[in-house]
Amino acid sequence: MKLQSTLFTILFLSYFLTFAQDKKTSEAQKLQQVQEWVDTAWEYTLENNDSSLVFSNKALHFSEKNNLYLGQVLSKESMGLYHEIVTGDIEKASKLYFEAIDLCETHDLDYIASIFHSLGIMFHTTDNYENAQQYYTLSLEKAREQQDSLLIKKCLINLGSVNSSLNQYDKAEAYMKESLEIPLRKEMDYATYGNLGYLYVKEERFDEAISVLLKATKETEDNPGADLNLYFLLHAKTMAKDSSNMKLPLQRAKNAAASGNYGLRDQSLLLRNIADYLAFIGKYEEALSYRDQYIQVFEEIKEKQRDQIVLETEAKYETEKKDAQLQLLALENEKAEQQQKLYLYLAIAGICMAALIGFFFYKNQKKNQLLAKQKQLLEVAVDEKNVLLKETHHRVKNSFQIVSSLLYLQSENLQDSDAQKALQEAQNRVRSMVLIHQKLYSKEQLIGIDTEEYLTDLVKDILESHQDASQQIHSEIHIDPLVLDIETITPLGLIVNELVTNVLKHAFTTSENNMQLDLKLQKKETILVLEVQDNGKGMPSEIKESSFGIQLIKSLAKKLKGQLTYSKNRPQGTIARLEIHRYNEL
């Protein structure tokens, strides 16, 4: 039977682990499918093709159906990029990005850094540099946490560009240089060299600008934008009034401008900077020719922008019109059905609500009456308990007071000075407990003692009982405001009584001046620290462990789980330090 049970358990675990592994593999395959659709959508986005939305929506519906939260994030980011780049609908793009961020935060996905970066790019391309800076910074922080080197590099490059646009040149330079230290994607470094060179030009650091731009325009396999960066170099050379070694770069720039391989914006920048450089070196006729070409391309850009705005406006109007008609038709159909159901639901809900309100009102009234009676009984019981407790403390205090008086009378009838001192010390010990019960019945707090008030009064009382010494001894008391229970304060008061009495008996001679006694009680983390300091003649080399006072202190310290130590005070005197580990603070 046991063998069969063991075999069944092994088979079950094997099936469970296989099922879990298959589930993980299946989920990875589904995410791979989503990624393929999103990649296809991105290719169509770059071509300004509306088919991008078809694949993004396909990926989104598939992800929602299979609870693929990362797939939903990727799909929404893809749709946001489409609206940002193709339709220019920044509002819709922002909405999709923030929905993706919400999914990342809700399901603790590591992809949030990429969404922040996409938001930064959106604000960057619309010249909203402050918001772009904010989201690039958030993306950089997350990318550093995830140690995503490629995303870190992208964020640093973009932060350099944004800070340059904000005229924060030192920050821009620092970000660009840090990006160059990451050994990834050399083609990105060449673009960074171009931006860094242009930054130096704006700061009129022409020698540094030209040195960096020569790297940016270097013709290599991994620098496809080398010719495009020539307009930065032409601009720097023109501003620096430097025409050296420019024959080949100038010819390359002319060839690039005439090739038609670049967009209108890049072509216009090449033409303008070629014209400026030619004018600088005195080739005015050729410079005028390139200036005319620049103006022609610039007008073409503006014309396309106007056409694009008109097309986007018309498309938006037609789409909104159709959506409004469909929504109106759907609303009319729903309204007819819902109006019939509404009256029935309202009637049923009204009856149920009235019944529930009546029932809960009745139950609440009964409960309130019961609670009122219980509260009244509890208040009476508490008042009676407090009266009895006060009376108990009063009687205990009176009993201690009688004992103290008897000790005093007995000491008055003794001739032996040692016996008198012993009785006086016993009287002081009793008085410390009298003071506790006196404060308990005279205050509202019946189970705890205000330590600051109690110890201050106790030390004052001890000093007054030793009138010869108290005439010259100056005392300072620093007590943390604590309320301790009677089980803690009673042994603590007796210990303070013994330590202060020892100082008065042994620390000083009657001829000394500036006698000082300090008492501190502080809470340090989980322990209480009591210190009694004096500036007297100091501790003897050997302490009489057999004396009643020392034995009493040790016994009481043990009850408080305390550690008592003595050390020399500076410049003279003694410090008695007690660390209390067991106490009850109220």
pLDDT number for residue 136: 92
pLDDT number for residue 323: 61
pLDDT number for residue 40: 93
Stretch (H or E) spanning 448 = strand 448-450
Give one DSSP letter per residue of 390-424, joined into a string: HHHHHHHHHHHHHHHHHHHHHHHT---HHHHHHHH
pLDDT number for residue 414: 72
pLDDT number for residue 384: 61
β-partners of residue 516 are 474
Distance CA 171, CA 190 (A): 19
Number of other CB atoms surrounding residue 493 within 10 Å: 23
- Is-cis flag, bond preceding 481, omega within 30? no
The model's pLDDT over 79-122, given as tens digits with 9 standing for 90+, comes to: 989 988 888 888 888 899 999 999 998 988 888 889 899 989 98
Structural domains in the chain plus CATH codes: 28-252 (1.25.40.10), 449-580 (3.30.565.10)
Give Dmax over CA atoms of the chain in angstroms.
Answer: 131
pLDDT number for residue 544: 66
3-state SS, 361-388, equals HHHHHHHHHHHHHHHHHHHHHHHHHHHH
Residues 6+ apart with CB under 8 A from 581: 526, 527, 560, 561, 562, 563
What is the chain's length? 586
Residue 217, helix vs strand vs coil: coil
- 404 alpha carbon, distance to own chain's centre: 60
pLDDT number for residue 159: 92
pLDDT number for residue 11: 45
Q: Mean pLDDT in runs of 10 for the chain (586 residues)?
A: 49 47 70 91 87 90 90 90 87 90 88 90 87 92 90 90 90 89 83 85 86 84 79 88 88 87 84 91 90 88 66 55 65 78 85 87 84 76 61 63 69 70 72 70 68 87 70 85 88 89 81 84 92 86 72 88 88 90 88
Distance CA 77, CA 20 (A): 30
